[in-house]
Structure 1
Amino acid sequence: MRASRLVALLLLLQNRGRTTARQLAEELGVSVRTVYRDVEALGAAGIPLYGEAGHAGGYRLVDGYRTRLTGLTADEAQAAFLAALPGAAAALGLGEALATARLKLRAALPAELREHAELIQERFLLDAPGWYGGADRVPHLTAVAAAVWARRAVVLRYRRWRAPEEIERRVEPYGLVLKAGRWYLVAGGPSGVRTYRVDQILGIRPLEDEFAAPDGFRLAGYWKDHLAGFRARLHTAEALVRLTPEGARRLGVAPAGDGWTETRVPIESIDHAHREFLRLGTDVEVVAPAELRDRVAETVRTLAARYEGRP
């Protein structure tokens, strides 16, 4: 732990130049006293650095000195590929490795490119999760990730939407995907390759069985096909509706004029369409199918009765 911190301190001084002990302490998450001890240790190891007193003082390396300690460890290399998603790296237990990898990458860059990289970090931010969904609790993510790295089979206890709702299954974890703030496990099992939501994993038991992914399997390719299949299955029916100009705008339909627009829209199911069309309130009238129209009408009658006579 201390060795990696000393490397991080050295790289911070190399990247930033003069830096105060308090700034170093905040960056490394340690006390100022610990920074003093670490600086002494680096000096005793022959690193040419010195401190300057005063308001504009701080520690710095002798001009012209550059460390060669910029090779990435395995964890740091893995974390580097998650550099745009620090939250994801932290969730996988690679937060500290990511911070060190960034320092090493900066140290390896020429000064002008290092300045450009810092400007990008200051001006652009990727925030993957959606607005209205809270962060999923994924207590078993670290164990799942460990099985993915080690290529070892696991037994999952999993909750799904259809009966039986809770199942136990031996799977071979091929990879993890982070989609819209939610983690998915892609794994092989008795029925072939399947996708599991990590937040629905109730328990995980690692096995000693090692495995190899099927020949030709590529995680990115599988996920692309999975999404295409999901979208194809999503809208298997359609509804005939009439929309006000506002309703047409909200559904992304070109209005026929200032009055009502009649159009057909794809729907996933009667239940799903019932919920979605109710969101449009008086800006939509369902014409067909009859089952959907009747469901919406019954809901409207129930709401009218509930609010009748209320102030």
Structure 2
Amino acid sequence: MRASRLVSLLLMLQTRDRMTAEELAEALEVSVRTIYRDVESLSAAGVPIYGEAGHEGGYRLVGGYRTRLTGLSEDEAEALFLTGLPAAAAQLGLAGATSSARLKLSAALPETLRARADRIAGRFYFDVPPWYDDTEREPCLAALADATWNQRVVRLRYLRWAKPHEVTRTVEPYGLVLKAGNWYLVGRHRSQFKSYRVSRVIQAEVGQKTFEREEFDLAEYWQASLENFDRRRLTTRAVLRLTPEGVLRLPQVLEPVAVEAARASAVGPDPEGWTEVSIPVESPEASVLELIRLGADAEVKEPEELRQAMIRELQRMTERYQERK
């Protein structure tokens, strides 16, 4: 355990210019006193690490010191070959670089770890897009990736849902997110951060003008954006009655946020076996097509507007089939 922590501490200092004892302790989930002892051990082992006092102080490594990947455990070596997404790298124009990096990483590993890593790579494959969903055409993705990496301002022609549908935006690209097989650009436009679906970018003109990137946590922004999107979209609550089969089928029909709400609000089953749940939904028009997939294993109780929309849709279906008799 301690050996693994020493390797982690050393790698952190290799990737950061300097870190304080408090920062290291928080990252490694140990006490500051433990960090002091670990630093002394690394220094005694010949690692050129030193500390600087003061407000701008901290621990750092002497000029460009690097360690080889000899501290990897078997599980860590295997996990490295599970982190890559070849298809995503190819979309970003990095297929060649990814392949080269994997070869170099494999060559740097001891023979025993290399064999285990190669076995893992040959037995697991990531296919990100969902079933029966064609991959979207994203001809501007590589250009946007280049602009994001080099902090170059981009002029986008973008197709959106609202009118006017086609708009032009000057965007400072901060990051790219791969969500369920679809790419999204996170960029700043007029001091506000927004997300743009890359498949709806008609044209991307990458200029020579660069921008100063402010401190920004892409993962944190994306999670907050998803939560805010759900709050704005799922503005209505619906009360459903479900058979035992309906309860089991919920994850196949509803979004995770609705399934979680259903589980948290579930009451029952009653003597007839029905369970009552409350879930967030969109407009009645959008919810009907989703809830109708539960068939006779679900009944909408509230709101009345959604219940009546379900009834109208079922009547239309019945009339359609009766016409064929």
TM-score, structure 1 length as denominator? 0.69
- 196-205 or 233-242: bigger deviation: 233-242
Any conservation in 2 of the 1:83–1:98 contact (CA below 8 Å)? Answer: no
| Separation in structure 1 between the aligned mates of residue 117 and residue 314 of structure 2, nearest angstrom | 56
Any conservation in 2 of the 1:242–1:263 contact (CA below 8 Å)? Answer: yes
| Separation in structure 2 between the aligned mates of residue 221 and residue 82 of structure 1, nearest angstrom | 23
Letter in 1 for 2:198: V
Work out whether 1:243 is the aligned partner of 2:242. Answer: yes
| Separation in structure 2 between the aligned mates of residue 150 and residue 163 of structure 1, nearest angstrom | 32
| Separation in structure 2 between the aligned mates of residue 198 and residue 109 of structure 1, nearest angstrom | 37
Any conservation in 1 of the 2:156–2:203 contact (CA below 8 Å)? Answer: yes
Aligned to 1:284: 298
Any conservation in 1 of the 2:236–2:282 contact (CA below 8 Å)? Answer: yes
Q: Any idea what the Cα deviations from partners look like across 1:70-119, whole Å, max 9, x if unmatched?
A: 9xxxxxxxxx9996100011111111121111111111111111111111
User: Cα distance 1:233–1:82, how it changes in 2: closer, same or farther (>3 A)?
Assistant: farther
Aligned to 2:164: 164
Aligned to 2:25: none
Structure number with bigger Rg: 1
| Separation in structure 2 between the aligned mates of residue 155 and residue 82 of structure 1, nearest angstrom | 36
- CA positional deviation for 1:243: 2.1
Aligned to 2:227: 228
- CA positional deviation for 1:171: 0.5
Letter in 2 for 1:301: Q
**Secondary structure in 2 matching 1:202:** strand
Give the alignment partner of residue 311 of structure 2, picking from 290, 297, 300: 297
Q: Any idea what the Cα deviations from partners look like across 1:250-275, whole Å, max 9, x if unmatched?
A: 22656505433333222122222111
Work out whether 1:105 is the aligned partner of 2:105. Answer: yes
Any conservation in 2 of the 1:153–1:210 contact (CA below 8 Å)? Answer: yes
User: Cα distance 1:82–1:88, how it changes in 2: closer, same or farther (>3 A)?
Assistant: farther
Gaps of 5+ in 2: 1-67, 69-79, 251-258
**Secondary structure in 1 matching 2:188:** strand
User: Cα distance 1:183–1:276, how it changes in 2: closer, same or farther (>3 A)?
Assistant: same
- CA positional deviation for 1:242: 2.1
Aligned to 1:270: 284
User: Cα distance 1:128–1:242, how it changes in 2: closer, same or farther (>3 A)?
Assistant: same
**Secondary structure in 2 matching 1:272:** helix
Any conservation in 2 of the 1:173–1:188 contact (CA below 8 Å)? Answer: yes
- CA positional deviation for 1:246: 1.8
- CA positional deviation for 1:283: 1.8
Letter in 1 for 2:179: K
Aligned to 2:269: 256
How many residues are treated as equivalent by the alignment?
232
Work out whether 1:307 is the aligned partner of 2:321. Answer: yes
Gaps of 5+ in 1: 1-69, 71-79
Aligned to 2:145: 145
**Secondary structure in 2 matching 1:135:** coil
Any conservation in 2 of the 1:138–1:199 contact (CA below 8 Å)? Answer: yes
**Secondary structure in 2 matching 1:172:** strand
Alignment of 1:53-132 (within 5 A): 84-132=84-132
- CA positional deviation for 1:279: 1.1
| Separation in structure 1 between the aligned mates of residue 159 and residue 120 of structure 2, nearest angstrom | 41
Letter in 2 for 1:286: V
Aligned to 1:195: 195
Alignment of 1:3-14 (within 5 A): none
Work out whether 1:209 is the aligned partner of 2:209. Answer: yes
